[in-house]
Amino acid sequence: MKHFMVDNPFMTLSKTVWSDTTPADNSLPLTGLRLAVKDLFHMAGLPTSAGNPTWLFTHPIPTKTASSVAALLDAGAIFCGKTITDELAYSLNGQNIHYGTPSNPVTPDRLPGGSSSGSAVTVALDLADIGLGTDTGGSIRVPASYNGLFGLRPTHGVIPSDNMVALAPSFDTVGWLTKDLATLEKTAAILLKKSALKIKTPKRINNVLIANNLLDQVAHEKALKAQLQTWREQGCFPKESVLEIDTQTWKTSETFRTLQGAEIWHEHGKWIESLKSLDDVEASSVFAPDIQLRFEWCKTISDADVAAAKQQRQRFTDWLESEIEGSVLIIPTTPGLAPLFDASDDELAAYRNQLMDMTAIAGLAGLPQLHLPVCTLDGASCGLSLLGSKGTDMALIEFAKTLMESAS
């Protein structure tokens, strides 16, 4: 599969509104901060392509703005453009055969990660301060890791996902990427402020759990373990223990992919099938080959498959929640560095399965996960994630501040 790189991570369809001449209100918490919005979020008067020109062609221009976007604008953020996304957000690579693949500014020979590729690259290039995106299977956490950014996947459901293109609603979250933790925290204070979920939120984390077995499986484990040791020596861990997560036994990737795929077909199957009746649309060229294959697989998922996966998800969630209550779990964000741009389709598919074994942990249980850009290896960015119980989003950020102060 051939892809072309683009230096501009913005969607050209919104160039005319990149600048905002509205006088700044210095009393607002996000005054002066530039906001880049993934092209899944609806904004009144602007088209939403969802990373696919046929979607753009077959859907009307939105008349309403996503409440998450409106909240950030109301808080003083300056909209600077909509950004490229992988097709319908159904990828973790950051590639798009229609609009191009944003160039990873840290390591241009490697993929930027997706599906919030444009939002991540925009922030990494210092063209925006806040990259608003979504995370279903890792689409905030993965590009955060590859581009040396902070990235938060919040507790599932704490931020409304209205007026945006869904992928798999029981996993979809609104997330964001920033260069610094202070900006990430300011954004969290706005988006988490009016949470519809009533979750008891702990003010502090009393125990650190290390997923050592996951560290042993990753390509950059030496660098990550060195960072953990530094934090230990600096007294950052009040109490530490080990948690073994056997992703193969729990079937995290398989369970996640089955449930996600079924939801995707429920959301988009009717539209995908309708394309066959459009005279001016060549069905075989609507999607990238790998995306097309995934959609075809989604169609084959049976009710029995879904029922079994739901049971497995519940068992895993119950176990994980009981293990991490009152603690923060530290895990590698990805199993390796960003794949090389010229990696083969087979290599990318194999890596995707490894990657989803890790990203599915938070996804299946609906838990918050915060990526910290604390490592580099051979010039490429990588790092560790903090994962906590539901509702611990702000507590994770507070703990991250302690860790990052010691890392500086």
Domain definitions of the chain by residue range? 5-407
Distance set, CA 256 to CA 73, 243, 252, 359 (Å): 33, 21, 6, 9
Q: Of 14, 91, 103, 115, which is the active-site residue?
A: 115
The DSSP secondary-structure symbol of 317 reads H
What pLDDT is stored for residue 53 in this prediction?
94
Q: Is 119 a catalytic residue?
A: no
Q: Is 115 a catalytic residue?
A: yes
Which pTM was predicted? 0.94
Q: Of 103, 116, 117, 139, which is the active-site residue?
A: 139
User: Which residue in this structure is represented by tokens 């992703």?
Assistant: 247
CATH class of 5-407: alpha beta
375 with 227: CB under 8 angstroms?
yes
Tens digits of pLDDT across the chain (408 residues): 556 788 889 986 544 344 444 556 778 999 999 999 999 999 999 999 999 999 999 999 999 999 999 999 999 999 999 999 999 999 999 999 999 999 999 999 999 999 999 999 999 999 999 999 999 999 999 999 999 999 999 999 999 999 999 999 999 999 999 999 999 999 999 999 866 555 555 556 779 999 999 999 999 999 999 999 999 999 999 899 999 999 999 999 999 999 999 999 999 999 999 998 876 666 557 999 999 999 999 999 999 999 999 999 999 999 999 999 989 999 999 999 999 999 999 999 999 999 999 999 999 999 999 999 999 999 999 999 999 999 999 999 999 999 998 765
Q: Is 117 a catalytic residue?
A: no
What pLDDT is stored for residue 284 in this prediction?
54
Angle (CA) 99-101-104 rounded to 5° is 150
Q: Which of 98, 90, 85 lies closest to 1 in space, CA to CA? A: 98
Q: Which of 328, 350, 374 lies closest to 151 in space, CA to CA? A: 374
Provide the token pair at 32.
Answer: 């002066």
Proportion of the chain in helix, strand, coil states, percent, rounded to 5: 40, 15, 40
- Give CA–CA dist 78/74, Å, rounded: 9
Q: Of 38, 186, 251, 390, which is the active-site residue?
A: 38
- Give CA–CA dist 5/107, Å, rounded: 13
Q: Which amino acid is located at 105 in the chain?
A: P
